[in-house]
Structure 1
């Protein structure tokens, strides 16, 4: 399916065609760079929790995730143990998946350790594909779900102790951060990925 023109006369990727949270995310956040370890860790965490689920579910629960995970304060989460783990698994405001909760706690500790090697933001950013390697999908069927860069990022993060960072999840993270632009060529947001002011 190619870009869809909505009731407002604007062409968008089909998943953002209808008014609501998904459209707002598509038009204001998806592909826009963020700044700082905390913002990168939040997006890494949310993409991991999205695995196997609809992104719409994660967007609806994002306020709950921020509250449950101390606004994604890496230093605080890195100290959490069984008490906090039990609290998270009982929190209906988030996705209560044991493996994903455990991965988030492990990823916080791995993020702290990564500071000795430039930090999470610089590490992820170093996998940005060159301009000539950017996809240019006309239809959703042409949108890639992994890439050579996302596969390398996945392997390297796993080597550094990260979990739930498979190639597909890392490709989604790279899309969200604007490292990869998979807005359809007919979408009004095509070409804006990676540009503009950083958002929180």
Structure 2
């Protein structure tokens, strides 16, 4: 979907970033693996530009077996610290292993998808300017607390709000963004997302 340069929420002028905005960000992610991947990517983003994470994403997918939590839960991160294709932060790589184990443990309680989608806000709020979009909310703080209690790491309220945005659990495409209508239609069609969780 080609968009007018000045109307995107973010990403103008960088094709990889534009594709992420236009085709992925804010669209509902419901599968365990996709949600686990987003948790990892948000952890890697801490302190870095998002475009850096996007540029390393394919290599991360390769070494994490497509972000399969079963595989990552058993991964030895030490050899990865010398792989120049990756974001070589030992703490962030270990967080992915820890979060894979937490994802697997959640299966006994209904799973990661159920936990995250309980936090969905349908319908969306409407923001005209990016400066109006919050960095975190009481709901993201409550979900961060729940994730931490389930064993997840690198999941503070701001990181969790970014996760909610990326996975379409909140709809923060700006009102003038051409991607908003499609993202909202997809969000409204997610089965079992009834209600608004406030934490």
Q: Could you say if the C-alpha distance between residues 96 and 12 of structure 1 is closer, same or farther in structure 2, counting changes exceeding 3 Å?
A: same
User: Which TM-score applies when normalising by structure 2?
Assistant: 0.87
In structure 1, the partner of 2:154 is 164
The question of 1:116 aligning with 2:108 is answered yes
**Does the residue aligned with 2:171 lie in a helix, a strand or coil?**
coil
**In structure 2, do the counterparts of structure 1 residues 19 and 86 end up closer, same or farther at CA, with 3 Å as the change threshold?**
closer
> Which residue of the other structure, out of 84, 98, 101, is the alignment partner of 1:106?
98
Residue number among 143, 147, 157 corresponding to 2:137 in the alignment: 147
Q: Which consecutive residues of structure 1, in runs of 5 or more, have no partner in the other structure?
A: none
Aligned to 2:73: 78
Asked if 1:128 corresponds to 2:124, the answer is no
| Distance in 2 (alpha carbons) for counterparts of 1:95 and 1:194 | 32
1:183 matched to 2:173:
yes
Where do 5+ consecutive residues of structure 2 fail to align? 191-199
RMSD: 1.9
Moved over 4 A (4+): none
Shift of 1:5: 4.2
Q: Check whether the contact 1:48–1:164 (CA below 8 A) recurs between aligned residues.
A: yes
Paired residues, what number? 186
1:26-105 counterparts in 2 under 5 A? 26-80=21-75, 84-105=76-97
Q: For residue 174 of structure 1, what is the aligned residue in structure 2?
A: 164
Alignment correspondent of 1:11: 7
